[in-house]
Amino acid sequence: MPQIEWVGTPNFRYGRNALQPLAIVNHITAGYYPGCLDWMQHPGSQASAHYLVLRNGRILQLVKEENTAWHAGIANKPNWNLYDGTNPNYYTIGIEHEGMPGDELTEAQYQSTLWLHKQLITKYPAITIDNRHIIGHYRIDSINRPNCPGIKFPWAKLFADLKGEHDVDHLVIYADGDVGAALLLSFKLKCPMVHKAFAEKIQAKHKYWVGVQGTNGDGNVYYAGSDRIETAKLGL
């Protein structure tokens, strides 16, 4: 599980003008660590974000969530329908991601920002999982920040993972003589089990299945071996 490391910055305003966060704004730093952190900690930059997610997966916190970070800048031809004409820094949380606009997030970086998004969504009920409440900086400044957080930012994957669309929906399929192993897996995975002779219709409703005996399926887990009870005990 990722850990949040406090690093701090002088670039913030105490409080949020009596407002609460209702959106997350994602950014790309257009530079690499430690330079990108140094920039947001330098008083002359007048720049900051609440969080910085590094390419190695570290999460650095620069500004407390109850305070205002200076990440959204000045609105310039915004195409964000929650923008109300006031300073968007007051009602957003800014997450910077180390990298250049053409970079893809590393896997460690993606998993950390996914975890961080989940924490913020849980903490702030107003932040719902949609493209009105989780946005890129380009939605606020379409002129000077058209590539923030970049064309390779994984929006579709992020929304799908936040909604649980990639969660495993298991089904245990077993054959004659594999009832014991199937029972173990079914109990461990808290999912139904069905004999392979009757599995076709039920299996089609599940994204993933576990075969105690059979052949591997795309994206599925298969348990086999001379002692299927022992392999089933290993779980997933």
pLDDT at 211: 60
The CATH number that domain 172-233 falls under is: 3.40.50.12090
In the prediction, which pLDDT does 51 show?
Answer: 98
Buried b / exposed e over 39-62, threshold 16 CB at 10 Å, is bbbeeeeebbbbbbbbbebbbbbb
> Please, what's the b/e burial string for 9-37 (b: 16 or more CB within 10 A of its CB; e: otherwise)?
bebbeeebeeeebbbbbbbbbbbebeebb
What is the percentage of the chain residues whose pLDDT exceeds 90? 67
- With 0-12 / 13-18 / 19 or more C-beta atoms within 10 angstroms meaning exposed / middle / buried, residue 216 is exposed
Reported as type and span, the H/E element at residue 4 is strand 4-6
Q: Is the pLDDT of residue 227 over 90?
A: no
- Which residue in the list 5, 65, 96, 165 is annotated as catalytic? 96
Q: Is the pLDDT of residue 207 over 60?
A: no
Domains of the chain: which residue ranges? 4-163, 172-233
Residue 65 known to be catalytic = no
> Over the stretch 15-47, which tens digit does the pLDDT of each residue have?
999 999 999 999 999 999 999 999 999 999 999
The SS3 call for residue 162 is helix
Entry pTM: 0.73
Q: Is residue 200 exposed (0-12), middle (13-18) or buried (19+ Cβ within 10 Å)?
A: exposed
Q: Which tokens belong to 96?
A: 């910077």
Whether 172-233 and 4-163 are alike in CATH topology: the answer is no
Residue 73: pLDDT band with limits 50, 70, 90? confident
β-strand partners of 31: 99
Q: Tell me: the pLDDT tens digits for 126-181?
A: 999 999 999 999 999 999 999 999 999 999 999 999 988 655 456 677 777 777 77
Superfamily of domain 4-163: Peptidoglycan recognition protein-like (3.40.80.10)
The SS3 call for residue 163 is: helix
To the nearest whole number, what is the mean pLDDT of the chain? 85
pLDDT class of 185 with cuts at 50, 70, 90: confident
- How high is the pLDDT of residue 145? 94
Q: Which of 90, 79, 99, 122 is nearest to 13 (CA)?
A: 90
